[in-house]
Amino acid sequence: MSDLDPVVGIDLGTTNSVVATVRDGVPRVIPNRSGQLLTPSIVAVAKNGKRLVGTLAKRQAITNAENTVFAAKRLIGRRWGSKEVEDARKVLPYRLVAGPEGHDVRVELAGRTVSVPEISAQVLAELKADAEAWFGRPVRKAVVTVPAYFNDGQRQSTKDAGRIAGLEVLRIINEPTSAALAYGFGKQMERKVVVFDLGGGTFDVSILDIGKSVYDVVAVGGDTYLGGEDFDRRVMDWLTFAFAKEKEGIDLRQDRMALQRLKDAAEKAKCELSAAPSTSIHLPFLVAGAEGKGALHLEKQLTREHLEELTKDLVDRCISVAERTLKDAGVRPAQVGEVILVGGMTRMPRVQKAVKDFFGREPCRGVHPDEVVALGAAIQAHALVAPAAKGQEVLLLDVTPQNLGIMVVGGYFQTVIPRNTTVPTSQTHLFTTVQDNQRSVRIAVMQGESERAIDNELLGEFILDGIREARRGEVSIEVTFEISADGIVGVSARDVDTGQEQSITVTATSGLTEDELKRILDEQIDELLEKKATAGEFDERREKAEAVLREIEALVPAVHEALERTRFGKDAVQKAEGVVARVRAAIEAQDAAALDREQENLDRTLQLFKGLAASARQPAGG
Amino acid sequence: MSVDRYSGFVFAPADLAEDVDLDVELRKEILFSEANVEKWTHWESLGIPWNAEPAAARDAYIAKVKVFHPDRYPGKRLGSYKARLGKIFRRLTEARDLLVDPGRRAEYVRATAPAQEFAKMEARKLEDERRSQERKARIARGNPLLARAGRVHELARRGKEAFEAGKFAAAANDLLIAAGMDPRNEALATLAADAKRKAAATRANELFQAGLELEVQERWSGALERYREALDADPAHLRASAHGARAAIESGDLASARALAAAAMKSSPQAGLAHEAMGRVLEAEGNAKEAKRALERALELDPRLEGAKERLRKLRWSFLR
């Protein structure tokens, strides 16, 4: 393997992302450059215009909520005006706008309008850089996971994000399938497995038949709008209402900074309650009080019992999705050989109990819910680039999560490829002209479960044009609908009589157009060249700053000694410590401008320390 | 992958020579399968015997996709073979999906059955049907409500059979009883009325034939009796009334003769036979002029009426004389 390019598997999560690889036949998570296994899926533009990703972005989210984008996965591939996007607009602290065609969603970030795939691409690029640092080599190929219930638009946009991040996406695979892969890898097992994946923003259930290294997905189900963040929101709502009641109707939701603090506190409390029976939420100086009064604090106790009460219907929803999926697969709960829990939310005791009660068995505890998806993706990535060693072969047979079909007369939805069909697959459909000399046919392709077209997700409108002129009904066009192993839909058309390929124009998609993608990639190259130029400059400054820092650090013991004798300079030393901390942060953030600003202060600090150290030596010397 | 498996199959040299990372045996297997997979039955493409269990289909599928899934050849150049593998994989998936689906499987099993198996299945099906009929009848006998319904069903069935066989009297009997037991069944009532009408017509014809036999023997009063009975069964029976009028004249009952002729005229005013009968009655009554007119009208309507011609000739002759 070592002579091949390294490949990685990436779990691009709603709240956190993980990158993993297979080394010497063992799948393992790659830590990021700060040494953590999980990287927050957060992108921000700091006040100084610097772009931040991951932990750094998360750290400044409270003070910079409007320019900090989290949970982009909830928006990716969504249509502007859809219920999901409308709901998100109400609760997200950053601003959403419609794309240029009015179909897709864009994010306003520091005065720029950015597409959602570009946001996700930043997270992917960060993970790519982490992996490159770990391997010491460039990484170009990856398998990226998505929730099984993602539709074509969401998958396509995720793939675009990979491309923008400079990755060749070998395959888009489903998160639960990926988890099952990591679970079964290297073990010669034959059993039916259910993956119950409750993540930050999405919920998925998959049923697999694992046999002789073939992972055959029998059925998938899910809800792309049900996850840990909904649990957080219940806690937040409870806190806001209680606060409004106690503090004469002050609405915390009006204050973005308070809202962000509340969100963090709610998430923290929820996590703590997985281990402890009760926890306290303490947020001092949360908002300014009414005129003349000081700042208001929030102080609350939350018990596990109460949390379970607040979120009972969410857990019930998960179980009913599981029930339906099992029915689709024609599998009874008793036939299930193993239940695998995936996603941080499955740590909640109430969720585990609900799963145990429904399946009548203890869920598997052998896999790490946060890492297992990335590990599976790494295994699949590995299997797609090199022949596997004996006993490590894997073959994934996944299915399409939703019915794929077209809109027919009367606004009805006609299924062309039913859900739970093994992919890759294809199906042809015959269209006939209905008017004399008809030159074009418009086909609205959609995905969903409803009989009524309007209730389903529109993937795009395909216009077959340049049809040869003939009497009505005399031209038949065979349209082939295809779903790739990535779960991405392709449409092609052919004139049945002449055998001629028919041209297709796609409009009204929820993603980026090919032209836009090209433009973004071009922009990126410009940016990269610029970065290269500034990188040299930055390195120079960093070296200079680090040299000064080293000198300062060497003087610290002497300075302390001096301070013990004289009260003079204590304030100055405290200020100096602040300068040192800021310089360190600037180096970490690779912020050349900030470093430049601090250089003068740093030099002054060095002079001060030198003076103090000299004063400390003097009495000793004479 | 034995060699005789491919006997009769011609490999295109260009396909075999394509520059890809697959050994020649595998190329042959892929080319052969791709060429045949569309025409093979699902059993054949999975390589399992007809009507093999769903579990066998699933196992065979897993074994086959290990060979024919494009993902099984990572890092290898596949060229045109990638699309070929894709096509075979899709067909294999179709086969598996159908053969493990209890809803669609049964029909496919029947449609693809070898001849002798098909005959066996048909025989079994008939046997099953017979048994289920018997079982139904047994249940029906045991339950009064069901028994009533069963009886109606049985009568209706027998009635319909008789009706189709042309035994209208028997059919009318059964159907009228069934309709009486099940008054809401309109279709049954209509059929019963139809059977009754047809039965009456049949009965009238039989009586008329009997009357004709007596008429030939010139037993006029007996014939008149039969004709009257025929008319009771079917009042619109034209020939019965016409012949009845003649028999009445011969028996000397002119009043009856006139009544019968009038009835014939009323039921079939455009029938020559009716006019002939009326002519004869008028002649017997001594109204030669009217009789002649009636007979002329009869011949106008039906020139083949030999009896009328002869009467008319006689009347003309007597008139001329």
What letter would DSSP give residue B237?
A: -
Q: What's the rounded Cα separation, in Å, for the pair A293 and A290? A: 6
Residue A89: other Cβ atoms inside 10 A: 14
Looking at CA atoms only, how far is residue A45 from chain B in angstroms? 40
Residue A260 has pLDDT above 90, yes or no: no
Query: Residue holding tokens 């200020």?
Result: A575
Structure tokens at A530: 């610029």
**Could you say which of B71, B74, B90 has the minimum Cβ distance to residue A425?**
B90
Q: Residue A246 is inside which H or E element, if any?
A: helix A228-246
Q: What's the rounded Cα separation, in Å, for the pair A427 and A478? A: 10
Residue B97 zone, left/alpha/beta (φ > 0; ψ -120 to 50; rest): alpha
Q: Please give the full DSSP string across A522-543, using - where no structure is assigned.
A: HHHHHHHHHHHHHHHHHHHHHH
The answer to whether A144 and A12 have CB atoms below 8 angstroms apart is yes
Would you call B310 an interface residue with chain A, using a CB distance cutoff of 8 Å? Answer: no
Looking at CA atoms only, how far is residue A482 from chain B in angstroms? 11
Q: What's the rounded Cα separation, in Å, for the pair A436 and A45? A: 57
More confident residue, A346 or A535: A346
| Helix (H), strand (E), coil (C) string for B119-188 | HHHHHHHHHHHHHHHHHHHHHHHHCHHHHHHHHHHHHHHHHHHHHHCCCHHHHHHHHHHHHHHCCCCHHH
- A73: annotated active-site residue: yes
What is the Cβ-side half-sphere exposure of residue B313, based on CA atoms within 13 angstroms? 6
Residue A496: other Cβ atoms inside 10 A: 14
Q: Please give the full DSSP string across A410-455, using - where no structure is assigned.
A: TTEEEEEE-TT-BSSEEEEEEEE--STT---EEEEEEE-S-SBGGG
Contact residues on chain B for A422, CB-CB shorter than 8 A: 93, 97
Residue A389 has pLDDT above 80, yes or no: no
Q: Over chain A, what is the mean pLDDT?
A: 86
Q: What's the rounded Cα separation, in Å, for the pair A508 and B78? A: 35
User: Long-range CB contacts (< 8 A, 24+ apart) of B206-210?
Assistant: B207/B233, B207/B240, B208/B237, B208/B239, B208/B240, B208/B243
Nearest CA in chain A to B85: A424
Instruction: List Cβ neighbours of A280 (8 Å cut-off, separation of 6 or more).
Output: A299, A300, A301, A302
- What is the SS3 assignment for A88? helix
Q: What's the rounded Cα separation, in Å, for the pair A114 and B211? A: 107
Q: Please give the full DSSP string across B252-280, using - where no structure is assigned.
A: T-HHHHHHHHHHHHHH-TT-HHHHHHHHH
Contact residues on chain B for A4, CB-CB shorter than 8 A: 75
Q: What's the rounded Cα separation, in Å, for the pair A344 and A274? A: 10
Of the given ranges (A43-47, A161-165, A533-537), which has the lowest mean pLDDT? A533-537
* One-letter amino acid of A438: Q
pLDDT at A622: 37
Looking at CA atoms only, how far is residue B205 from chain A in angstroms? 59
- A11: annotated active-site residue: yes
Structure tokens at B15: 């396909």
Dihedral of CA atoms A21, A26, A32, A35 in degrees, nearest 10, equals 180
Looking at CA atoms only, how far is residue B97 from chain A in angstroms? 8
Of A302, A293, A300, A311, residue with least CA distance to A250: A293
Among residues 407-436 of chain A, which lie with CB inside 8 Å of chain B? 421-422, 424-426
Looking at CA atoms only, how far is residue B16 from chain A in angstroms? 23
Burial (CB count within 10 angstroms: exposed 0-12, middle 13-18, buried 19+), residue A157? buried
Of B47, B19, B22, residue with least CA distance to B33: B47
Would you call B13 an interface residue with chain A, using a CB distance cutoff of 8 Å? Answer: no
- What is the SS3 assignment for A209? strand
pLDDT tens column, A609-619 = 888 777 766 65
- What is the SS3 assignment for A210? strand
pLDDT tens column, B201-223 = 888 888 888 888 888 888 888 88
pLDDT at A244: 87
- What is the SS3 assignment for A352? helix
Would you call A563 an interface residue with chain B, using a CB distance cutoff of 8 Å? Answer: no
Instruction: List Cβ neighbours of A502 (8 Å cut-off, separation of 6 or more).
Output: A464, A466, A467, A477, A493, A494, A495
- What is the SS3 assignment for A272? helix
The answer to whether A541 and A596 have CB atoms below 8 angstroms apart is yes
| Helix (H), strand (E), coil (C) string for A553-584 | HHHHHHHHHHHHHCCCCHHHHHHHHHHHHHHH
Structure tokens at A182: 């990591």
What letter would DSSP give residue A456?
A: S
pLDDT at A130: 95
Query: Residue holding tokens 């928006």?
Result: A75
Largest CA distance in chain B: 126
pLDDT tens column, A563-611 = 777 666 667 777 777 788 888 877 877 777 777 788 888 888 888 888 8
State residue A209 phi and psi, 5-degree precision: -110, 105
Would you call B288 an interface residue with chain A, using a CB distance cutoff of 8 Å? Answer: no
Buried residues in A203-240 as b, exposed as e (16+ CB within 10 A): bbbbbbbbbebbbbbbbbbbbbbbbbbbbbbbbbebbb
Cα A62–chain centre separation: 20
Contact residues on chain A for B74, CB-CB shorter than 8 A: 383-387
Would you call A384 an interface residue with chain B, using a CB distance cutoff of 8 Å? Answer: yes
pLDDT above 70: percentage of residues in chain A: 95
pLDDT above 90: percentage of residues in chain A: 42
Q: What's the rounded Cα separation, in Å, for the pair A1 and A22? A: 9
Strands A16-23, A26-29: pairing kind: antiparallel
State residue A117 phi and psi, 5-degree precision: -55, -30
Would you call B89 an interface residue with chain A, using a CB distance cutoff of 8 Å? Answer: yes
Instruction: List Cβ neighbours of A279 (8 Å cut-off, separation of 6 or more).
Output: A269, A272, A273, A301, A302
Residue A2 has pLDDT above 60, yes or no: no
pLDDT tens column, A287-310 = 877 666 778 888 889 999 999 999
Nearest CA in chain B to A382: B74
Residue A507 has pLDDT above 80, yes or no: no
Would you call A387 an interface residue with chain B, using a CB distance cutoff of 8 Å? Answer: yes
Q: What's the rounded Cα separation, in Å, for the pair B266 and B241? A: 11
Preceding peptide of B183 cis, ω within 30° = no
- What is the SS3 assignment for A257? helix
Nearest CA in chain A to B93: A422
The answer to whether A20 and A367 have CB atoms below 8 angstroms apart is no
pLDDT at B197: 87
Dihedral of CA atoms A144, A145, A151, A153 in degrees, nearest 10, equals -20
Question: Cα Rg for chain A, rounded, in angstroms?
Answer: 28
Q: What is the mean pLDDT of residues A459-488?
A: 86
Q: What's the rounded Cα separation, in Å, for the pair A295 and A288? A: 4
Residue A1 has pLDDT above 80, yes or no: no
* One-letter amino acid of A257: M
pLDDT at A167: 95
Instruction: List Cβ neighbours of A170 (8 Å cut-off, separation of 6 or more).
Output: A7, A141, A142, A143, A381, A384, A385
SS3 content of chain A, % helix, strand, coil (to 5): 40, 30, 30
pLDDT at B257: 86
Q: What's the rounded Cα separation, in Å, for the pair A453 and B19? A: 47
* Interface contact A395-B75, CB threshold 8 A: no
> For chains A and B, what is the number of CB pairs under 8 angstroms?
36
* Interface contact A385-B97, CB threshold 8 A: no
pLDDT at A503: 67
* Interface contact B74-A425, CB threshold 8 A: no
Residue A376: other Cβ atoms inside 10 A: 35
pLDDT at B181: 82
Burial (CB count within 10 angstroms: exposed 0-12, middle 13-18, buried 19+), residue A368? middle
Question: Residues of chain B whose pLDDT is less than 70?
Answer: 1-3, 140, 318-321
* Interface contact B65-A397, CB threshold 8 A: yes
pLDDT at B319: 53
State residue A148 phi and psi, 5-degree precision: -60, -30
Residue A312 has pLDDT above 70, yes or no: yes
More confident residue, B35 or A101: B35
How far are the Cα atoms of A116, A431, A510, A531, B300 from residue A521, in angstroms, in the given order? 15, 38, 19, 15, 104
pLDDT tens column, A326-374 = 998 989 998 999 999 998 899 999 999 999 999 999 998 778 888 999 9
Q: What's the rounded Cα separation, in Å, for the pair A270 and A600? A: 45
